[in-house]
Amino acid sequence: MIEMLTVNTLHKMKTNHVKKTATKAGWHAALYMLLLLLTTGCTNGQNKNEMKYEISKTPEEWKAELTSEEYHILREKGTERAFSGDLWDNKKEGTYTCAACGQALFSSETKYTSGTGWPSFFKPLEKSSVAIEEDRSLGMVREEVLCSRCGGHLGHVFPDGPEPTGLRYCLNSAALDFEPED
């Protein structure tokens, strides 16, 4: 009798242990799936872009609005050939706006002749007009300049500009529109 009880108890204990282990494994699997969903959701570029910029459009929508050169520079982070754009030598007074969303970005008052063949400025219109991101492409570490409203790529900023800021915002003409002063 005692022997029967012991065997029964042992059997019950084993069954409970198996059940507990199975439940634990189930929880682990659920947690793993949740983590997987969260991490893949966070690294999705489109989602990141949607959260970050006020204006967010699909590549197809941008392609319908921009020329192929504008699309390549603004949305694919391209660079126009030096001295090829229509604004590097523009000396008129006015405001430079984003060619994608129209946000005012730079004033002719901060434009200067850098000799690089790209429109160059020592300061944006407002600090909040542009967003700066680290760019590690082409084996270099550079500071990328983007429109803060639509995330359009404008160019790069370097620490070799004139006073008072010592900065050189080196931009693509194709990423900008120019609105002359009245």
**Which amino acids are annotated catalytic?**
170
Given 130, 145, 150, 170, the residue binding Fe ion (CB under 5 A): 150
CB of 99 to Fe ion, least distance (A): 8
Q: Which stretch binds Fe ion (CB under 5 A): 65-73, 89-97, 123-131, 149-157?
A: 149-157
Taking CB under 5 A as the criterion, which residues in 61-120 touch Fe ion?
Answer: 98, 100-101, 103
Q: Which is nearer to Fe ion, 149 or 168 (CB)?
A: 149
Site for Fe ion contains 147 (CB under 5 A): yes
Kindly state the DSSP code that residue 122 receives in the 8-state scheme: S
Site for Fe ion contains 153 (CB under 5 A): no
Dihedral in degrees, nearest 10, Cα atoms 156, 159, 85, 153: 10
Site for Fe ion contains 174 (CB under 5 A): no
Residue 78: CB atoms within 10 A of its CB come to 15
Phi-psi region of 77 (alpha: psi -120 to 50; beta: other; left: phi over 0): left
Taking CB under 5 A as the criterion, which residues in 34-53 touch Fe ion?
Answer: none
Q: Which stretch binds Fe ion (CB under 5 A): 35-43, 118-126, 151-159, 160-168?
A: 151-159
Q: Which residues contact 161 (CB under 8 A, 6 or more apart)?
A: 112, 114, 120, 122, 167, 168, 169
Nearest to 90 by CA among 76, 73, 102, 108: 108
Residue 117 contacts residue 82 (beta carbons within 8 Å): yes
Binding site for Fe ion (CB under 5 A): 98, 100-101, 103, 147, 149-150, 152
